[in-house]
Structure 1
């Protein structure tokens, strides 16, 4: 996994996402999820392309249930963009136009 991606869990979510000043994309995923695996190269490319503009995090739902429960994660992959700790956008599924979606959300 790319050094540009931060792994988060129930314990680190507050410091890495909720308390972060700026934009954060969190990819809720699981190792056994086919669509999650197909999305990974796009997430890695996005992390490199948007370095300094948006922090990219991955949350393995098998590693914790508190945060996914709090945000109502029922399907994976679910991508949520946070700004200063508040959810501003959400997509469910392995979307192809990931970079375009992120650009449209963080440029508003």
Structure 2
């Protein structure tokens, strides 16, 4: 797992302050073991909308509960297949390892994503 910020060593759900890049299924497994609430963004190389989501996800990671991670669907196909990813960007919210929400209709605002995570953090 390529960390771009210090990790959340106690797993209290606050998560890293920047999105982490998941480079393998093992990174994904480690993230789920460490965090109760996770936002996965599935992307592909060369996706313009995915690139435009980078600053949004950085803002979300700083202000929302949980951990934010990016998965390149072409490089980690096992994880993408597990969530039946058919288009990018796709955002999947996981609570205790189970999918609880999905946004797969293009660009999303930071406010929309933060609200979604806060809703599922309160469950």
After alignment, is 71-80 or 88-97 more displaced? 88-97
Q: Which residue of 2 aligns with 1:15?
A: 30
Contact 1:25 1:80 in 2 (8 A): yes
> What are structure 2's unaligned runs of at least 5 residues?
6-17
* Structure 1 length-normalised TM: 0.84
Give the deviation of 1:6 after TM superposition: 1.7
Give the alignment's Cα RMSD to 1 decimal.
1.8
What SS does structure 1 have at the residue aligned with 2:116? helix
Q: Which residue of 1 aligns with 2:42?
A: 28
Q: Which residue of 1 aligns with 2:54?
A: 40
> What are structure 1's unaligned runs of at least 5 residues?
none
- The number of aligned residues is 105
After alignment, is 73-82 or 58-67 more displaced? 58-67
* Structure 2 length-normalised TM: 0.75
Does 1 or 2 have the higher relative contact order (CA < 8 Å, sep 6+)? 1
Contact 1:20 1:84 in 2 (8 A): no
Runs of 4+ residues deviating >4 angstroms: none
Q: Which residue of 2 aligns with 1:94?
A: 107
What SS does structure 2 have at the residue aligned with 1:14? helix
In structure 2, what is the Cα distance between the partners aligned to 1:5 and 1:95? 16
In structure 1, what is the Cα distance between the partners aligned to 2:48 and 2:73? 14
What SS does structure 2 have at the residue aligned with 1:24? strand
Give the deviation of 1:21 after TM superposition: 4.3
The structure that is strand-richer by fraction is 1
